[in-house]
Structure formats: C-alpha cells, structure tokens
Amino acid sequence: MMVSSEVKLMMKLLIKNKVSFAGFIIVLTFIFVGILAPFITPYPADARGWVFHMNQRLLPPSWKHPFGTDEFGRDMLSRVILGSRYSLIISVSVIGLALLIGVPIGLVAGYLGGKVGSALMRIADMFLAFPPLLLAVAMAATLGRGLRNVIISLAISWWPWYTRLMYVQTNSIKTMPYIDAAKVLGLRTPTILFKHILPNAITPVMVQAALDMGSAILEAAGLSFLGVGVKPPTPEWGLLVTEGWASINRAWWISLFPGLAILITVLGFNLMADGLREITDPRLRRLLISRGGRI
C-alpha cells in the first residue's frame, strides 16, 4: 500500500540522519517517562503537590534532591518527572482534538469544493489570522484556568492547520481515477470520503500532527506563564518554571530544571521534524535517495 511504503521510507531516512535520530530517541524517552511517571517519582506525594515540608524549603540540588526543593519543600525532581505526564496528556489531547475538528472539515471542504468548500476554508483562515497562542489566551481567559480548558483553548486555535493540510490533500486525491470509479459504482459520498479518500490523504497530516506535539507543550507552558494555564499545584512544566520565578535569585534550580525539561522535549520533536521536513520536501528527498540517504 502507498501509505506504509511512505512511512517506511521516512523511518529509514530518519534513522540514517543522526541529528533527527537523536530527536527521535528524546521523544521516545519522553513518552516512556510520561507513561511511567507515577511509578518512578522518588516522592510521589511531593510530585502531586498537596504537601508542605517546612523543614526542607528551598534546598539546593543534592543527592537526596537532585533538582533541589521548592518554596514548599517539595522535591523538584519528582515534580518534573510527573510534569512529563501532564505535558504528554496536554499535547496528545490538543493534537487529537484539533485533528478531530480539523480533518473532517478539510475533507468535506476539499471534496465539495465550490462555494461551500471555500466558505469553510475562509472560516479556517480567520482562525489562522490570530498570531499563535493569542487566540488560546483569549479562550483560556474566558473559560478560566484548568487542564481541560487549556486543552480546549489550544485545540480551538490549532484545528485550522489540519483543515488546510487535509483540504490540499483531498483536492489532489479527488481527481484520481479510482475515486471516479467509486462514484460510478454508486458508492455513497460518506463512504467515498472516509473509506477511499481519508486513508490515502491522512499520512502527511498525521506526520505533521506528531511533530506538532512539541509546539503544543511549548504553548501550554506559555499559557501557564501568563496565568491562564493549569491550576496549581499541577506539576505542569510551564507552571513549575513560573512558580520558581519569584524566588529565582535565591533558588535558581526551581525554574531551571523544568525549563530544561521543556527545552529538551520540544527540541526532540523539532529535531525529528527538521529531518523529516527535509525528507518530505520532494526535491531534497530525490537528492537524498540518489545519494543513498546521506545528508
């Protein structure tokens, strides 16, 4: 099948590109830690945050607390580890929700074309007219703080990207002979859309979506910093950085480590993306294949 050979080629080229492969490993580690987080935190109660240790406030990094402790004496390593789970939840849900809204709209707009199609696309464009993050800030300021509202706010500002991608894909596929054949055979439009066009159009959208997870983590952190993100004491990385800000001159470690966690994770996604973008660029890909996949 067309789809799997595309994916195979990508994986092959990804592994051959050292920098992208490093990104791939970072992403795998992040997902692994995110899933296992509740079982591997040294101090699970500190990680969840509903505790207060008066006698160990603002301790610098040590063997007992490698990332130090915060204003309330909580172990920062535990909080950063559990934070990976929140970042994973946020990024997967935001991208998933954005796909659920964006893909069907793009599919229908691309297939129908004409006035309905372009009207749908104009609506998507209006959402894209907002600079990144700001629409989510407006939504989050309206809905209030909390994990669920962060996810909704980010997804609302995210779906049009997938609508656009899906629209372009659908447009190029709908003129193919096998779609005409399906029409002639009298298949219903939803069947053609979801059984014949969607599976063949979705690969680039899914690749883009997987790579966008890093940006979702970054934007969720931005929302937290502006005070419209998750509620304390949720150990979301952006909120951890923000909480350390007030005492950064006395205790630099509180902000430093969660920030590094964001940087490394997002870097992982983006390095992977960087390699893949070169590869998904057909001109460069042809060049790569002709040179045996070396960059």
Partner 1 sequence: MGVSREYLIQRTLLLFAVVLGVVIIVFIITRIIPAHPELLWAGPHATLKQIEEARKELMLDKPIYVQLYYYLINFFKGNWGVSWRTHRPVFDDIINYLPATLELVTVAFIIAIVVGIPLGVLAAIKRGSWIDAVIRVLSVTGASVPVFWLAMIAQLIFSSKLGWLPGFKRVDEIVVLETGFRKITGFILLDSLIERNWAVFIDALKHIILPSLVLSVYPMGLSARMTRALMIEVLNEQHFRASIAWGIPKRTALFKYALKNVIAPVIASLGLSFGYTLVGAYLVELIFNWPGLGYYTAMALLSYDYPAIIGSITFVAIFYTVINMIVDIIHAAIDPRVKL
Adjacent-strand bridge partners of 75: 69
Does position 256 interact with partner 1 (CB under 8 A)? The reply is yes
- Out of 108, 121, 207, 266, point to the residue binding partner 1 (CB under 8 A): 266
* Least spacing, CB of residue 222 vs partner 1, in Å: 6
* Least spacing, CB of residue 86 vs partner 1, in Å: 15
Please list every residue from 29 through 48 that binds partner 1, using CB under 8 A: none
Is residue 75 helix, strand or coil? strand
- Alpha carbon of 91 to those of 102, 151, 230, 261, 265: distances in Å? 16, 8, 13, 15, 12
Between 6 and 274, CB nearer to partner 1: 274
Burial call 264-278: b when 16+ CB within 10 Å, e when fewer: ebbbbbbbbbbbbeb
Q: Cβ(205)–Cβ(166) under 8 Å?
A: yes
Bond from prior residue into 233 cis (ω within 30 degrees of 0)? yes
By residue count, the chain amounts to 295
- Out of 125, 148, 172, 194, point to the residue binding partner 1 (CB under 8 A): 125
Contact region for partner 1 (CB under 8 A) — 36-44, 75-83, 196-204, 213-221? 213-221
Does position 201 interact with partner 1 (CB under 8 A)? The reply is no
Does position 259 interact with partner 1 (CB under 8 A)? The reply is yes
* Least spacing, CB of residue 245 vs partner 1, in Å: 6
Helix H or strand E encompassing 80: helix 76-112
- Out of 19, 25, 40, 289, point to the residue binding partner 1 (CB under 8 A): 19
Between 188 and 294, CB nearer to partner 1: 294
List of residues 6+ apart from 27 with CB closer than 8 A: 265, 268, 269, 272
Bond from prior residue into 204 cis (ω within 30 degrees of 0)? no
- Out of 13, 151, 198, 271, point to the residue binding partner 1 (CB under 8 A): 271
Does position 60 interact with partner 1 (CB under 8 A)? The reply is no
How many CA within 13 A on the CB side of residue 125? 8
Total H helices, total E strands in the chain: 13, 0
Does position 97 interact with partner 1 (CB under 8 A)? The reply is no
DSSP state of 56: G
Contact region for partner 1 (CB under 8 A) — 42-50, 104-112, 166-174, 214-222? 214-222
* Least spacing, CB of residue 94 vs partner 1, in Å: 16
DSSP 7-47: HHHHHHHHHHSHHHHHHHHHHHHHHHHHHHHHHH-SSHHHH
| Torsional sign, CA 100, 273, 83, 256 | negative
Q: What does the per-residue mask of binding to partner 1 show for 135-154, with x meaning CB under 8 A?
A: x-xxx-xxx-----------
Q: Cβ(91)–Cβ(217) under 8 Å?
A: yes
Q: Binders of partner 1: how many residues, by CB under 8 A?
A: 48
- Out of 225, 247, 285, 293, point to the residue binding partner 1 (CB under 8 A): 225
Contact region for partner 1 (CB under 8 A) — 50-58, 97-105, 175-183, 241-249? 241-249
Contacting residues toward partner 1, per CB under 8 A: 18-19, 122-123, 125-127, 129-135, 137-139, 141-143, 214, 218, 221-222, 225-228, 238, 241-242, 245, 248-249, 252, 255-256, 259, 262-263, 266-267, 269-271, 274, 283, 295
